[in-house]
Structure 1
Amino acid sequence: MVEAARLTAHFRLTVLDGRMYVETFRESIQTRALFTAWGIVQLMRRYPGKLPDLELMFDCDDRPVLPEIEYGKDGSEQPPLFRYGSDWESLDIVFPDWSFWGWAEINIKPWKSLLEDIKEGNKRTKWEDRVPYAYWKGNPEVAPWRGDLMKCNATNQNDWNARLYVQNWLAESESGYKQSNLQDQCTHRYKIYIEGYGWSVSEKYILACDSPTLLMTSRWYDFFVRSMVPQQHYWPVRDEDKCRSLKFAVEWGNNHPEKAKNIGKAGSRFIQEDLKMEYVYDYMFHLLTEYAKLLKYKPSIRPNATELCAEAMVCTADGNARKFMEESLEKTPSDSIPCALPPPFSRKELIIHRAKMLKAENEVKRWEMKYWDKQNIEKPEQPD
């Protein structure tokens, strides 16, 4: 069954007797596959000898490919496939994304050190003194909903309380990414998260600011966001009516500053405390350990597989890739065992959890509709 997941996988990863091997099937986007493998090598350095024998397939692309409807209701026919994000109708297994160990191509540092930088950036400007609008900067060309978002920028006719900017990565690379330092982007009272072609790696960076995240209706999820609750950790924004929804969110927050501040702080506290690098490793450890228990055979080393070790990977890398590997290297084993995880949700518990989230989203929607109904002026037209 593992072999059946090879159809879209970028690589096969095998752990055998405490050593790791990778068989590459096709190149991934940029260095996604390289840094994903690097992250698992670091996990093995953190907990040497503790990861069981296993074999898995990893797909480094953005969208899930295992729709639940095509497999048995209990998932018994599902070919196990790991990736960075999935959706509520798919069975792909979510795993921490490559950028936790650095995004070499756009000069984003490993998560552990970047998180400290963002914490310092949060201290520079108090929430009350930040620009009282919603901020987003990114590439609007990757998905139609991002292009649609750009229509919510302020014009001479309407101000939707949003300040939106196009990210030109070519220009940024030529200037040394001086305008893209994430620790310098916690300057507005509100930050917007919107997906790209699939789930967006920008999510954790946006949520780490103390500003409330205005989270556009999500189609996909990563491994941590399902633990976050609307109105508690972020503010939900409707994808089908972006501009009015953004305008209301900012108006509500500016009129309820303490509540807005608390949402921003709760969201960033979750990211800064519950998404520490040591907990990311523990999640990886438990996920891979539980996965290994399902295998009914002993993995073997494939003829085209290459053994990976930290020293060899660093020696063959250069530029930012080498720099970030050296920065994220686990130099010594952990002096504690992985933390204990609560048992996973049952299907019933998951349905209840989703219902709770939907209730919170619908409550915001009702407030929003009431807000527009009370306006004494004609509602501004949503841009085409």
Structure 2
Amino acid sequence: MAAPAETLIGMSGGVDSSVCALLLVQAGESVAGLFMQNWSDDGSGECRAEDDRRDALAICGRLGIPFHARDFSKAYWDGVFEHFLAEYRAGRTPNPDVLCNREIKFKTFLDEARALGATRIATGHYARIDRRGGLWRLLRGADPGKDQSYFLHQLGQEQLAATRFPIGHLPKAEVRRMAREAGLPTAAKKDSTGICFIGERDFRSFLAQYLPARRGEIRSVDGQALGEHEGVFYYTLGQREGLALGGVKGRPQAPWYVVDKDVAGNILYVDQGSESRFLMSSRLVAIEASWTAGQAPADVFECTAKTRYRQADEPCRVEMDGDGRLAVRFERPQRAVTPGQSVVFYAGVECLGGAVIESTDAPVDELERGSG
């Protein structure tokens, strides 16, 4: 009986995990691949699980490494999707990719790797790990356009010590070039998008299967009824699309943006202008902080932060609170900081950790809440 592989690679069926496996095989390491089935397709959209499984199997076959497949769909439902629905139900906008990494890719998958005799895992994430002063550090990926450290900020010392990111030092173009030169069948495969493990689909229709639509009023910030929405759950702060608000008599010809959601009253509040003052905030309060080092750098410290994935780093001051909350004050106002999303902290290339946004100082208490 063959000895178990030392490293188990998360094989998604995409080009990134394919090159991750290629590099480890070329380095002569003892590896095997594992494909995770994390969603039982409900027929509501493009869920490519079977195609992806075949591609993952083909890559392992081409590289001559053992292939495993596991169904983690119950763990995904219990650990990620139920929370996802509860957050939308409460009027917040969750980030399932963050929770998916913590609960599935670096918990359930890591546990399974150890059960198979592996001592570590490897994935095709664009991030890096190093060790300094006896602590493992999570670093940004070298390709700034693909860096995924934002989604990995909840990894702690145990996960970082047992994880490798073989392509984190590479730009995406180089990854595809290496796949082409090695003749890997995934070299030109389109990157996956959409909800983690669920795939691309009409988001509103998908969510409506679990949170039935309940139509309600769309109101301006001064209380005027402007139209109807399909359900406040389906909208997020700063959103412009899907409001179906054309020209409104007496109002400028300018786009409308979501600035607040009254879940109890089933009312959506909108304002004109992407920089509406109701969308701007300089301070936020966050909960459920997670630090890669196991604790915050200090009770009060300065760093940079992102409140959404594609955002540029913004300088801020972080103050820890004794009740587990933390307050973040930015040097300049931020747009559409959204409860339920993550604020993630950086010191240069190092990702320090992050927390879940609970509230901001956007002036929504000044909205006209009357009947219109």
TM-score normalised by length of structure 2: 0.27
Q: Which has the higher contact order (CA 8 A, sep 6+)?
A: 1
Greater strand proportion: 2
TM-score, normalised by the number of residues in structure 1 = 0.26
Higher percent of residues as helix? 1
